[in-house]
Amino acid sequence: MAEKPWVRMVTAQTPTNIAVIKYWGKRDETLILPVNDSISVTLDPAHLCTTTTVAVSSSFDQDRMWLNGKEISLSGGRFQNCLREIRARACDVEDEEKGIKIAKKDWEKLHVHIASFNNFPTAAGLASSAAGFACLVFALAKLMNAKEDNSELSAIARQGSGSACRSLFGGFVKWIMGKAEDGRDSLAVQLVDEKHWDELVIIIAVVCSRQKETSSTTGMRDSVETSLLLKHRAKEVVPKRITEMEEAIKTRDFESFAQLTCADSNQFHAVCLDTCPPIFYMNDTSHRIISCVEKWNRSEGTPQVAYTFDAGPNAVLIAHNRKAATQLLQKLLFCFPPSSDTDLNSYVIGDKSILKDAG
Ligand code: DP6
């Protein structure tokens, strides 16, 4: 008699992260090795996160994946690299409750199904691939009983999307660019956990939720090939900023934190303009938000809010505390009233948070 088909499932939830010192540019495109270190803050999963369920079954005859309910191709190198790396680390699994036993050697023959949902717009400069690949790698590692810690898993998530490696931790996270040619030391480490600076409030002003025109991957490839400013940034500017940012985070020095965050976002967008052909991720509304924050910070004497923009027009605003966040929302509502014809249409508000294992 044929063996009864069985299925084993794991669900995980991973928040996205926003870089305060940006990653822009690869020195190795296949392994996804960056030209500089970067630092990010991990967001609250209640607002911007990916939930991924991975399943393995004796009845599956191929690997398949669905993103927000629609089947997508797994043929891309990035998915295959992550799957291969986790499969190579798979261990024996014994699920007594379900009576399932999978031997290490069986993982090579078994297939997985993956269902992933984002609770925010995909590919609109809100780092959807960061949460996506981090969650995929984390869930697969649990499913296959891989014993690697989160830093080791981050080096695998990195091969899905560079920024994904930073979403394996909560709080403030540093992606160390590493030196090894095989990328084994290019991984993420937690600088401080989410409790260290818990008065910060992060507000995301969604300027536009449409998919961006130039993907980060294409944009940074063009920048590496054509921007002189990027070379200067990676070699001279970022190493110093990383040290200063680590110190600002450690000592909760908001003034330095805000100055470094805004300067780094502006330099990243300057690199985009210095790229041939130039890349425009921000729009008029983004520029108006910058002016509004700059003006307010100057009038207060010390910065109340830091802004940063990734590869899209949406603003990530980091307020010093709840009072500053409330004032910021009032100012945004005043400058961009809901009935106005600007395309600023919603705010997502959240604290920093940690990676949650829903498995
Ligand atoms: C501007 O990680 O999306 O958000 O590695 O090619 O997948 P790939 O790029 P991705 O780039 C993110 C760029 C950024 C800055 C950052 O998150 O550090």
**Whole-complex ipTM:** 0.99
More confident residue, 122 or 86: 86
Work out whether strand 64-67 and strand 111-118 pair parallel, antiparallel, or are unpaired: parallel
pLDDT at residue 227, rounded to an integer: 98
Report the separation in Å between the CA atom of 104 and the middle of ligand 1, taken as the mean of its atom positions: 34
Can the peptide bond before residue 303 be classed as cis, meaning omega within 30 degrees of 0?
Answer: no
133 lines ligand 1 (CB under 6 A): no
Residue identifier of the C-alpha nearest atom 1 of ligand 1: 310
- Looking at residues 287-294, what average pLDDT do you find? 95
Residue 96's pLDDT band (cuts 50, 70, 90) = confident
Q: Mean pLDDT throughout 312-333?
A: 92
Q: Decide if 200 contacts 253 (C-beta within 8 A).
A: no
Q: What is the mean pLDDT of residues 294-302?
A: 95
Going from the Cα of 25 to the center of ligand 1, the distance in angstroms, rounded, reads 9
Q: What is the mean pLDDT of residues 305-315?
A: 94
Percent helix, percent strand, percent coil in the chain, to nearest 5:
35, 25, 40
Any atom of ligand 1 within 6 Å of the Cβ of 129? yes
Ligand 1 center to residue 153 CA distance, Å?
18
Mean pLDDT of 122-137: 77
Instruction: State how far the Cα of 347 lies from the Cα of 350, in Å rounded to an integer.
Output: 10
Q: Does the C-beta of 38 come closer than 6 Å to ligand 1?
A: yes
- Give me ligand 1 centre to Cα 162, in Å: 6
Q: Is 162 in the pocket of ligand 1 (CB under 6 A)?
A: yes
Ligand 1 mutation pick, 29, 36, 216, max ligand atoms within 8 A of CB: 216
239 contact partners, CB below 8 Å, separation of at least 6: 36, 37
Alpha helices in 38-173 (DSSP H): 77-89, 128-143, 150-157
Pocket perturbation via mutation, ligand 1, pick of 17, 50, 163, 268 by most ligand atoms within 8 A of CB: 163
pLDDT of residue 128: 64
Asked if pLDDT for residue 241 goes beyond 50, the answer is yes
Distance 220 CA to ligand 1 centre (A): 8
220-234: average pLDDT: 98
Q: What percent of the chain has pLDDT over 90?
A: 77
Report the pLDDT value the prediction gives residue 113, as an integer from 0 to 100: 98
How far, in Å, from the CA of 163 to the mean position of ligand 1? 5
| pLDDT of amino acid 119 | 83
Rounded CA gap, 205 and 332, in Å?
9
pLDDT score of 356: 37
Q: Residue 347 above 70 pLDDT?
A: no
Picking from 89-98, 148-157, 165-174, 344-353, which range would have the lowest pLDDT averaged per residue?
344-353
- Position 37 scores a pLDDT of 98
Q: What is the CA 207 to chain-centroid distance, rounded?
A: 19
For ligand 1, the distance from its centroid to the CA atom of residue 23, given in whole angstroms, is 6
How much is the pLDDT for 354?
38
